[in-house]
Amino acid sequence: MTTFDYDLFVIGGGSGGVRAARVAAGEAGAKVGLAEMDRYGGTCVIRGCVPKKLMVFASEFAHMPSEARAYGWDIADGAFDWKTFCGHLNTELDRLEGIYRSLLKNSGVETYDARATLVDPHTVKLSTGETRTAKHILIATGGHPVRPDMDGAECGIVSDDLFHLPELPKSILIVGGGYIACEFACILSGLGVEVTQYYRGAQILRGFDEEARGLIAESMRERGIDLHTGTNIVEMRRATGDEATDAQMSAPVEARQIGAKPAPDSGEGPVWVKATNGQTRVYDQVLFATGRRPNTAEMGLGALGIELGRGGQIVVDEYSQTKVPSIYAIGDVTDRVNLTPVAIREGMAFVETVFRGNPTPVDHALIPSAVFTQPELGTVGLTEEAARDREEIEVYCTSFRPMKTAFAGRPDRVLMKLIVSKANRTVLGCHIVAPGAGEMIQLAGIAVKMGATKEDFDRTVAVHPTMSEEIVTMRNPVRTA
């Protein structure tokens, strides 16, 4: 009988890997080892969801003084201090990383601060030179942002770099139209940075509901973001001294007050950019938010017969198992649904399948999610476009100015939308664009996941006065398809 060092060895200390490791060890009684080459907590805790959401909170205070004055408060506009915020942010991330380490230790997981690669179906080699064997290996290495393949791309930064800028830039060009690009456009604009955004497609947030995308784009422009669709970079390079000086002098006064100096990625200065629309301009920073790639390079996967997709993702079955029976993979490295709670669910299903003898496929249907733009987008189920391609539907939708901001004279609008099956009245999708939409969609997601009908929504008494009451008070469809 073969003896292994561990029942399970996990490669990757992010949310999915840590959950699988500690549940397998602490609840299923397995002997578990885990290797992490960077900080524990992974993308979500260290360079993604958590620091980004804290930046969202910081940026939302920008409009608070003027709104408060409309309500009678004598509050003056203030200045944002990037260094103070970053100090508090780093303290919080250190605290959270410590919690992750403690969870693993208290569950009996042995950890290695090292890079791990695969030697054979049951053996990993650590960057320390050690090797460890395991009956099962779980790969949870996540992904990383990528720069486009173009001349001058090294002049730009990616989302990971934003959290390490010594100073806020006065101006930034964000390239991309996905949720990361749009979230950071809103964040940085709220912090006082002059933001320009290029997206090569016709509308931002591809894959989300068309009506919701349009309202968010409109709101971003109203907040001062210079958003250009159908636009991309033709050429970019480091700006000359005269170009950089001219750019600094032409920056808006409010932007000059926020950031005392440019924040170049390597101390080399601002970036000159030429766009497909003919515009040329110098920016203190260029941020590429043009995609992410799974962390599968140089891990020895191909030599073992583990199948990789075109994007470098590990191909797995419904139980997260690879072509090599002893090796599994979860989270962003599989490029299924790249969300932290999904990686955690995949890790739990893996433990249930492998260590509890209860084969549990991962359920990727009807996953609620949020985009933390300003206003936020909360979504679950099918978009109007996807639903009408599948069956006949009714669309219930309303857009209005919410009480809080309307009273303050702001133009903000919100959107509440339900997509309903004509055949069985099931709510196929729910889409909300509003402050706090992420909080609202979590609860709406329960109803949609349970298969609630439009009449179930109608029978629910409204909570008044709230924005969310509109979800249960829309009586007549605005259109059918």
Contacts of 88 (CB under 8 A, 6+ apart): none
List CB contacts of 415: < 8 A, sequence separation 6 or more.
Answer: 211, 212, 215, 397, 398, 399, 431, 432, 433, 434
465, amino acid identity: P
Integer CA distances (angstroms), 353 to 18, 143, 368, in order? 17, 25, 24
Residue 338 CB neighbour total at 10 angstroms: 17
Question: Taking the CA atoms of the chain, what radius of gyration do you get in angstroms?
Answer: 24
Q: Is 347 helix (H, G, I), strand (E, B) or coil?
A: helix
Question: How many whole angstroms separate alpha carbon 57 and alpha carbon 80?
Answer: 12
Query: Cα–Cα distance between 295 and 10 in angstroms, integer?
Result: 14
Mind giving me the DSSP string for 127-181?
Answer: TTS-EEEEEEEEE---EEE---SSTTGGGSEEHHHHTT-SS--SEEEEE--SHHH
Nearest to 36 by CA among 126, 107, 102, 103: 126
Sign of CA dihedral 348, 354, 355, 359: positive
Among all residues, which ones are annotated catalytic? 464
